[in-house]
Amino acid sequence: MRRAALIAVVSFLAAVPAADARGPALNGAVTKTSRVSSLRYVMDIAVLRRRYPASVLHVSGVRGPAALYVHVKSVAEVLADGTQIPGPSQSAMVDGPFLYEGAPDGVAIDGTIRWLRVPLAQGAKALDSMRNLGPTPVFHVLQESSLARARTHDGTFKGAVAYDDPVVRTALVAMTGGIEFRSLRFEATVGADGYIHAVKMTGRTADGSKALSVSLRLYAFGQPVRLTPPAEGTFMDHKAFILAD
């Protein structure tokens, strides 16, 4: 009798639908982190190829009220022993109503000009590029995760993502230059403060010729952001640039 009752209970529990594996902990952390007033981050985006050198971007940035800064350092070539040959680098900054685009490698033009200043209303394309190289696309991917199991001892979530999800596809295309990756997996660490502190993401193309590796670290949540805009004499207004061209 007791055995029959136990079997009935086990069968009932097995039939009960599991709660959404993403759960409020991961989704809540994504929402909280995406809405925080300010943060800093570093991110590596690597597209690994079978027969060609890897494409790697090292990105660092700051996001705050009416302020945004991104610095991108590319890798021209990765040697067989893992040595990275530096490629071009560039910075961009939003301060108030203006977007400042840095000269490649910070090389001054005419001796002092290192920045091009553009009104935000005219810098939509550059602004989108800055956001695409920030944490927002990663947040979109995490919000669409189909599976996420928490490891309670360290707040780590691991899961899979449907590559053909429209949100995921849009987010990753912006980061990877149009390459579609499948078999997408992620690992996200949520801190005791409820913010996402780190994300790792991997994937591969349908033919297996390329692999994706994204590593994101976030910190300084809610701390004051103070960006110093380029000084007078170090930037040229976009209108003046067009006239000078």
Per-residue pLDDT tens digits for 103-121: 888 888 878 899 999 998 8
Burial 212-236 (b: 16+ CB within 10 A, else e): bebbbbbeebeeebeeebbeeeebb
Placement of tokens 């640039």 in the chain: 241
CB count within 10 Å of CB 85 equals 10
Among candidate residues 181, 180, 168, the one with its CA nearest the CA of residue 140: 168
**What does the pLDDT read at residue 7?**
33
Take residue 3 and report the two structure tokens written for it.
Answer: 């055995």
Which amino acid is residue 124, in one-letter code? A
CA angle 7, 9, 13 (to 5 degrees): 115
Tokens of 169: 């596809």
CA distance 124 to 117: 13
Nearest-angstrom CA–CA distance, 213 and 78: 14
If we measure between CA atoms, which residue out of 201, 216, 189, 199 comes closest to residue 41?
A: 216
Instruction: Find, among 209, 212, 190, 217, the residue nearest to 201 by Cα.
Output: 212
Domains for the chain: give ranges and CATH numbers.
18-244 (2.50.20.20)
Number of neighbouring beta carbons within 10 Å of residue 121: 8
Q: Quote the CA–CA distance of 172 and 204 in Å, as a whole number.
A: 12
Residue with tokens 């067009």: 242
State which residues of the chain have pLDDT below 70: 1-24, 146-153, 238-245
Q: Which residues are bridge partners to 78 per DSSP?
A: 84
Matching residue, tokens 């596809």: 169
pLDDT for res 239 = 62
And the tokens for 227?
């960006």
Instruction: List, in sequence order, every residue forming a beta bridge with 159; answer none if it has no partner.
Output: 186
What value, to the nearest 5°, has the Cα angle with vertex 121 and ends 117 and 124? 85
pLDDT value for 57: 92
Name the β-bridge partners of 109.
Answer: 113
Residue with tokens 């110093």: 228
Burial (CB count within 10 angstroms: exposed 0-12, middle 13-18, buried 19+), residue 144: middle
